[in-house]
């Protein structure tokens, strides 16, 4: 599926109701999300950073993130929404960021109004750039895309820094200069989630994950409020951490993982997920049986 088709598909999903997009961070997690029949997936910048052994504080470069996103897109048959952090710099950097993510095949990116280096949206002590500067970034992003269906999502982290009213004001300003969708990060109550939905007319994205600052709200309620995308950024990675730790403990205890064998994917199941047999069959079709 080419990027143009992916972007159009995402637009169709957004127009038809709420889409749940689980956060992936590599090719395997992308394959598993597709296997689970999700209609879209989210390339989580935080999860990608942590998969390299580093925290989500802006330590990875644009090229490092885009390389991982390419791997995610390459094995996905659904639209990918990607985390583009702060755009990796000023307006000039934002222009390149849009081009790199477009070329990677994603359907949409979100850019946030934190200073660089950024912090995870649910960490404390965040700082923001001026509203005017962020508006310039969004304007450049919207004008730099080469595909009109490629979506620019504007994220504001202002609730924790400047307060809820300021966050709404920023969101409206970003919508006015060309953002296709608005992402107000880390609302702290159901009432705030409702007010965002009521006060922002553009399509809205919300971050829903267990243990964050935002209360968990049923998907049906979010849809009724008017939200169009709910990302679940870190749950897959957090589940992986728990599973790996459990397996390592079993290996350390006995020297192998037989104690928890019933909790491991089988050798064959793993090969099915990564399409080992299909790769060989594809090559055989191309070159024949060798006779």
Q: Is 170 a catalytic residue?
A: no
The gap from C-alpha 237 to its chain's centroid, in whole angstroms, comes to 13
Task: Given the residues 6, 110, 119, 122, select the one marked as catalytic.
Answer: 110
Q: What's phi and psi for 156, nearest 5 deg?
A: -120, 135
Task: Given the residues 68, 119, 145, 155, select the one marked as catalytic.
Answer: 155
Task: Given the residues 145, 185, 227, 228, select the one marked as catalytic.
Answer: 185
Peptide bond into 117 cis (omega under 30): yes
d(CA 138, CA 125): 24
Task: Given the residues 6, 25, 50, 85, select the one marked as catalytic.
Answer: 85
Task: Given the residues 26, 71, 100, 112, select the one marked as catalytic.
Answer: 112
Q: Is 85 a catalytic residue?
A: yes
d(CA 15, CA 17): 6
d(CA 281, CA 288): 10
The gap from C-alpha 264 to its chain's centroid, in whole angstroms, comes to 27
Q: Is 207 a catalytic residue?
A: yes
Task: Given the residues 26, 71, 83, 113, select the one marked as catalytic.
Answer: 83
Task: Given the residues 3, 9, 50, 56, select the one marked as catalytic.
Answer: 56
Q: Is 169 a catalytic residue?
A: no
32 in Cβ contact with 22 (< 8 Å): no
Q: Is 149 a catalytic residue?
A: no
Q: Is 120 a catalytic residue?
A: yes
Q: Is 110 a catalytic residue?
A: yes
- Token output for 97: 């960021």
Q: How many CB atoms lie within 10 A of CB 148?
A: 11
Active site amino acids: 42, 56, 83, 85, 110, 112, 120, 155, 185, 207
């Amino acid at each position: 599926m080419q990027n143009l088709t992916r972007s159009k598909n995402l637009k169709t999903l957004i127009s038809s109701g709420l889409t749940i997009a689980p956060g992936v961070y590599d090719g395997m997690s992308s394959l598993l999300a597709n296997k689970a029949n999700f209609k879209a997936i989210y390339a989580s910048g935080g999860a990608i950073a942590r998969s390299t052994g580093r925290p989500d504080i802006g330590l990875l470069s644009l090229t490092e993130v885009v390389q991982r996103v390419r791997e995610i897109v390459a094995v996905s048959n659904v639209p990918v929404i990607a985390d583009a952090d702060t755009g990796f710099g000023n307006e000039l950097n934002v222009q390149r960021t849009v081009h790199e993510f477009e070329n990677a095949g994603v359907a949409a990116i979100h850019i946030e109004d934190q200073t660089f280096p950024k912090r995870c949206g649910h960490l404390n002590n965040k700082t923001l750039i001026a509203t005017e500067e962020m508006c310039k970034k969004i304007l450049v992003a919207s004008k730099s895309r080469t595909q009109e269906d490629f979506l620019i999502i504007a994220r504001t982290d202002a609730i924790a820094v400047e307060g809820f009213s300021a966050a709404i004001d920023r969101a409206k300003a970003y919508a006015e200069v060309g953002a296709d969708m608005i992402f107000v990060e880390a609302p702290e109550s159901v009432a705030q989630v409702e007010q965002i939905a009521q006060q922002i007319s553009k399509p809205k994205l919300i971050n829903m994950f267990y243990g964050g600052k935002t209360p968990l709200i049923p998907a049906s309620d979010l849809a009724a409020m008017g939200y169009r995308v709910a990302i679940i950024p870190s749950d897959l990675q957090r589940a992986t951490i728990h599973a790996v730790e459990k397996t390592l403990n079993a290996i350390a205890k006995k020297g192998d993982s037989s104690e928890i064998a019933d909790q491991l994917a089988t050798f064959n199941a793993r090969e099915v997920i990564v399409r080992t047999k299909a790769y060989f069959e594809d090559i055989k079709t191309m070159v024949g049986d060798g006779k």
